[in-house]
Structure 1
Amino acid sequence: MNKLNQREVQNLGFLLNFPFHWTGMQRRTSKRVWETRYVVKKMRIPEATVMRLAVYSRLLENLQKRDIVTTSSGDIAEGAGVSPAQVRKDLAYFGEFGTRGVGYNVEELCGHVRRILGLNQKWPSVLVGAGKLGSALALYEGFNIRGFHIVGVFDVDPNPIGNRFGSIKVLPMEHLERVIKKENVRIGIITVPAVAAQEVGERLVKAGVKAILNFSPHVINLPADIIVRNVDFSLHLEVLAFNLTFELTECEDVGV
């Protein structure tokens, strides 16, 4: 299982503007309200935990929309496809939440999880590569809903230059650095051909981007303080093919 080491956790905290160095648990203030301070001990946080937190966030938001006031680790676990113990373990990385015998206040826990994930703020992002995949991503409303606003789309090909995705116009690459600086962009999305991915990644980093979502089939290598997620759709299809071949419902060891 991939895990985030302490340095990567600190980098993730910088990206999310979340104080991972804080210590202390929930405590009463003089105004008799709970002040939450999240805890991340000096330990390795599984990457899968962060992914599950994103799932929990969506589940809690759906509960809010249904005006459900309290929930339990069992309810969350059922929706996320994990065990109640796993839910409690994931949340325990960041502090103590809920009340034994009562459960979790949905609104409060949703707020905590969103803050942990950095979803309590807006994230201006740029996208490089205005081809078919880039165009689809630029038009995807889900990014805006989650707080990730694409403020610039760029390409080296003159053909898509000037095209619009809503209010965003495709610009030539020479405008990249200016937009990143002006909009305080820290997230870059790469949807260029494999041969150009490394160069684009390096240029984004040089311009000030701190995290990159790379949809190119080429795995890019950047400095250790840059957060990179390489997304190759064909890899997921190959995993599905493997599972179908061995008639599995999830990845597991196959005795061969």
Structure 2
Amino acid sequence: MTGASTTDRGLPNATVARLPLYLRALTQLRATGSATCSSDQLAEATGVSSANVRKDLSHLGSHGTRGVGYDVAHLQAEIAQAIGQTQEWNVVLVGAGHLGKALAAYPGFASRGSRIVAVVDADPKRLGEQVVDGLVIESADDLDEIVRDRAVSIAILATPTHAAQDVADRLVAAGVTSILNFAPVALRVPDGVDVRQVDVAAELQILAYHEQRKSSPREEAVSG
């Protein structure tokens, strides 16, 4: 799994992770008719500090205009270019269980430059089942052909844990170079393949930790 602090084009990974937040905020600002915005406005809309907003945008060469701020349309186009939103990316979704079906039905992918072109599953009894309009479950046996024929470069894994590494190996061998992994397992991939891990249970555990810390002082006060 790749873990460099900067991307190949020189942007820090932390900056890349925040650029979609800025793009979403700018899209909303433009929809309301705003022509300019300040770093403070972007900070408020994204939950990122103003200092980080200015630093992140400076990596793109955008420094804004003193007393005016940033041109919303220009900055929106600049960020879209930086994170590959000026073209559509074909995505294959592997795993058509409850999570996979929910992801396939999520409308936010298409509006942000990614299009799910296939949903595959290993269960032969589910083949041909409609997931959403225009997408039916296809066989995992055809994964290599699907990746090749539909020019897929990104995959979403929503498989059981035990199957994730094998599926990842097949995807990489077929030519997929980016994987969004929802299976709770750390994938082993070669250099040049990017993996983003989404572990919802782990995120809930982190929140549970913070909830426990919030309640501890009260409990100690009562016990004392």
The answer to whether structure 1 residue 132 and structure 2 residue 98 are counterparts is yes
The alpha-carbon distance between structure 1 residues 53 and 3, as it changes in their structure 2 partners (threshold 3 A), is farther
Provide the C-alpha distance between the structure 2 equivalents of 1:87 and 1:200, rounded to a whole number of angstroms: 38
Q: Which has the higher contact order (CA 8 A, sep 6+)?
A: 2
Aligned to 2:56: 90
The alpha-carbon distance between structure 1 residues 3 and 69, as it changes in their structure 2 partners (threshold 3 A), is farther
- Shift of residue 3, structure 1, vs aligned partner: 6.7
Aligned to 2:40: 74
Instruction: State which drifts further: 159-168 or 237-246.
Output: 159-168
Aligned to 1:237: 204
Aligned partner letter, 1:125: V
Aligned to 1:37: none
Unaligned runs of 5+ in 1: 11-19, 21-39, 249-256
How large is the RMSD of aligned CA atoms in angstroms? 1.7
Aligned to 1:61: 27
The alpha-carbon distance between structure 1 residues 57 and 3, as it changes in their structure 2 partners (threshold 3 A), is farther
Provide the C-alpha distance between the structure 1 equivalents of 2:211 and 2:26, rounded to a whole number of angstroms: 32
Secondary structure of 2:214's counterpart equals: coil
Aligned to 1:28: none
User: Which of 156, 163, 168 is equivalent to 1:196?
Assistant: 163
The answer to whether structure 1 residue 105 and structure 2 residue 71 are counterparts is yes
- Shift of residue 107, structure 1, vs aligned partner: 0.6
- Shift of residue 149, structure 1, vs aligned partner: 0.5
User: Which of 128, 134, 144 is equivalent to 1:177?
Assistant: 144
Aligned to 2:174: 207
Structure 1 segments of 4+ aligned residues over 4 angstroms from their partners: none
CA displacement, residues 183-222 of structure 1 (integer Å, 9 cap, x when unaligned): 2111011111000000000000000000001100111111
- Shift of residue 160, structure 1, vs aligned partner: 1.8
Provide the C-alpha distance between the structure 1 equivalents of 2:186 and 2:83, rounded to a whole number of angstroms: 25
The alpha-carbon distance between structure 1 residues 3 and 49, as it changes in their structure 2 partners (threshold 3 A), is farther
Aligned to 2:129: 163
Kindly tell me the number of residue pairs found equivalent between the two proteins: 213
Provide the C-alpha distance between the structure 2 equivalents of 1:101 and 1:131, rounded to a whole number of angstroms: 52
Secondary structure of 1:124's counterpart equals: strand
Q: Could you tell me whether the CA contact under 8 Å between 2:21 and 2:46 is conserved in 1?
A: yes
Q: Could you tell me whether the CA contact under 8 Å between 1:97 and 1:109 is conserved in 2?
A: no
- Shift of residue 100, structure 1, vs aligned partner: 2.2
CA displacement, residues 38-60 of structure 1 (integer Å, 9 cap, x when unaligned): xx4xxx71x33222211111000
Secondary structure of 1:186's counterpart equals: strand
Q: Could you tell me whether the CA contact under 8 Å between 2:62 and 2:75 is conserved in 1?
A: no
Provide the C-alpha distance between the structure 1 equivalents of 2:126 and 2:102, rounded to a whole number of angstroms: 13
Unaligned runs of 5+ in 2: 216-224
The alpha-carbon distance between structure 1 residues 60 and 3, as it changes in their structure 2 partners (threshold 3 A), is farther
